[in-house]
Amino acid sequence: MRVDLHSHSTFSDGLLSPADVVERAVQRGVDVLALTDHDEVSGLAAARAAAAHWGLQLIDGVEISVLWQDTTLHIVGLGINSTHEPLVDGLAAIRTGREQRARRIAQSLADAGIPGSLEGARQFAKNPELVSRAHFARHLVSAGHARDTNAVFRNFLTPGKPGYVQHQWSLLEDAVRWITGSGGVAVIAHPGRYPLNQQQCESLLDEFRSLGGTGLEVVTGSHAPSEYATWARYARRFGLRASAGSDFHGPGEGYRDLGDVPVLPAGCVPVWTELVCGTA
């Protein structure tokens, strides 16, 4: 069974519509897919319809932006109820904050001699409520400021570089509560990407677990295969289940393609056993 529990559509910063994400997943042999748009669940309805058409099992998901001890974290919710009011309201508040952040990003780029980037980023954002750094990156590439989006993130939009602004996202405890309160399970996305030392990392996993978090992404497009074992050990040590996902954003855009998800290392307890029909 091929499982991919992390993907994006045009409802956040992906390049394909939810229906096209689902169709591509089917073509690539994915049996179980979670659509996990950033701070947004509005793409799930179209994904669900496409999944029913193709006979793919869709897990309703979301990827929530959190600020934890000055570090931005992403918490994936799987098996959520996307109509749960605290979740809906919490995500709406994050999207409102994104709008203000986008203006500050544009101001920072303007100060560095690049005017007009908010209008530019908006051209790439199909969902006007969700302007992400990925949209700024696509604009900066098309305006000739960088060769590709990877080059953008080396020179712009990241700490210490033009276009980076610190932002107050949601609180970890709120994000976990919105997810679990809706009946879903909370998973820390791509833990290897955060600038945390070992002590901070242990403190995060400890706190996440005590807040009711369930899983840790062990296999993700953001981890080198050599890192899987490290995160599998952390998951076991902190009593967390293991998740796996490509973090697909679009054909030819960073990360991996749908279904490019190697099997979990031995000893991991998969997070999906209770989410997927026929595996529990």
Contacts to Mn ion by CB under 5 A: 13, 63, 74, 189, 247
Give the ranges where 41-84 is alpha helix by DSSP (H). Answer: 44-54
Measured from the CB of residue 179, what is the shortest distance to ligand AMP in angstroms? 17
8 versus 84: smaller Cβ distance to ligand AMP: 8
188 versus 275: smaller Cβ distance to Mn ion: 188
Sign of CA dihedral 10, 14, 15, 16: negative
Residues 6+ apart with CB under 8 A from 125: 13, 131, 132, 135
How far does the chain reach from its first CA to its final CA, in angstroms? 13
Measured from the CB of residue 257, what is the shortest distance to ligand AMP in angstroms? 15
Detail the DSSP E strand segments found in the chain. 3-4, 32-35, 57-68, 71-78, 185-188, 215-220, 241-245
Measured from the CB of residue 233, what is the shortest distance to Mn ion in angstroms? 22
Q: What distance in Å separates the CA atoms of residue 144 and residue 167, rounded to the nearest whole number?
A: 27
**DSSP state letter for 273:** G
112 versus 146: smaller Cβ distance to ligand AMP: 146
123 versus 150: smaller Cβ distance to ligand AMP: 150
Q: Cβ distance 231 to 264 under 8 Å?
A: no
Picked from ligand AMP, Mn ion, none, the partner binding residue 133 (CB below 5 to 8 A depending on kind) is ligand AMP
**DSSP state letter for 249:** -
Picked from Mn ion, ligand AMP, none, the partner binding residue 9 (CB below 5 to 8 A depending on kind) is none
Alpha-carbon Rg for the chain in angstroms: 18
133 versus 145: smaller Cβ distance to ligand AMP: 133
Picked from Mn ion, ligand AMP, none, the partner binding residue 40 (CB below 5 to 8 A depending on kind) is none
Measured from the CB of residue 13, what is the shortest distance to Mn ion in angstroms? 4
Which tokens go with 183? Answer: 């009946």
Q: What are the two backbone dihedrals, phi and then psi, of residue 233, each rounded to the nearest 5 degrees?
A: -65, -45
Picked from ligand AMP, Mn ion, none, the partner binding residue 231 (CB below 5 to 8 A depending on kind) is none
Measured from the CB of residue 90, what is the shortest distance to Mn ion in angstroms? 17
Which tokens go with 132? Answer: 């992400």
Residues near ligand AMP, by CB under 6 A? 13, 38, 65, 132-134, 149-150, 153, 249, 254
Which residues share a beta bridge with 63? 38, 76
Measured from the CB of residue 269, what is the shortest distance to ligand AMP in angstroms? 27
104 versus 233: smaller Cβ distance to ligand AMP: 104
